[in-house]
Structure 1
Amino acid sequence: MDILIPIDGTDASKRALDFAIEMAVRMGATPYVVHFTNKQTDATEAILEDARERLSAANFPNKPALSTITVDIWTADRVGKEILETVEKNDYDHVVMGHHESGTVERAVFGSAAETVLRDESVPMTVVP
């Protein structure tokens, strides 16, 4: 089983990564961690370094993958669609994502990448609050 774990550096994303790592260890699955960004910065590297440390603490028989994907149009809906395209392209079996509460206005304007993936229903998904 291959598990895709999109991360963004938020606390919800870190909780989802920890959950997915435990899930992958228990199931003998391979985690594939990806960070979607519109620009590579020091913050991008900090997010990836945190993920590397969390992954290295687990004992995986197969080496987990960690990568970034650049998204030109930076909205939650666009990121959600990029996640779905990544799932389809690489035939991932499951997606684990964090989801944090946002205000009504923020949700109306920006939406949620997790909601976009969940509504699509093309891949099994676990949402970690």
Structure 2
Amino acid sequence: MRILVPVDGTEASGRALAFAIDMAVEMEATLHVVHFTDRETDATETILDDAQAKLDAADIPDQPELTTITVAIWTADRVGKEILDLVETRDYDHVVMGHHEDGAIERAVFGSAAETVLRAEVVPVTIVP
């Protein structure tokens, strides 16, 4: 099994990563952690360092992959579509994502990457609040 888990530095994505690590260990699956950004900053490095520390502490059978993908226009819907592109091109079997509550205005303007992936119905998705 191949599991994809996007991280964004929020508490919800941290919980999703912990869940995905447990899932990968239990199912002897491969794990790919990805961070999407419009430009790499110190925050990007912090997010990746935190994810790497969690991966290093886990006993995952296959070496997890950790990457950053830069997207020109960064919106939640765009990130959702990028995740779906990864699922298609890299043949992932499952996606684990965090989802944090946004206000109604934020949701109307930006949408949700998790909703975009979930509604596509192309791969099983676990949403971790």
Task: Tell me, yes or no, whether TM beats 0.5.
Answer: yes
1:1-129 maps to which residues of 2 (within 5 A)?
Answer: 1-129=1-129
Instruction: Provide structure 2 residue ranges, at least 5 long, that are not aligned to the other structure.
Output: none
Q: Matched residues in 2 for 1:116 and 1:123: separation?
A: 12
Q: Matched residues in 2 for 1:80 and 1:118: separation?
A: 9
Deviations 1:101-124 (A, max 9, x none): 011111000110000000000011
Shift of 1:30: 0.9
Instruction: Provide structure 1 residue ranges, at least 5 long, that are not aligned to the other structure.
Output: none
**SS at structure 2 position matched to 1:47:** helix
Deviations 1:2-47 (A, max 9, x none): 1000000000000000010001100101110000000011110100
What TM-score does the superposition give when structure 1 sets the normalisation length?
0.99
Q: Matched residues in 1 for 2:83 and 2:55: separation?
A: 20
Q: Matched residues in 2 for 1:86 and 1:71: separation?
A: 13
Tell me the matched-pair count: 129
**SS at structure 2 position matched to 1:80:** helix
Deviations 1:33-84 (A, max 9, x none): 0000000111101000000000011112210000000000111000000000
**RMSD in angstroms over aligned alpha carbons?**
0.5
Structure 1 runs (4+) deviating above 4 angstroms are none
Q: Which amino acid aligns with 1:41?
A: T
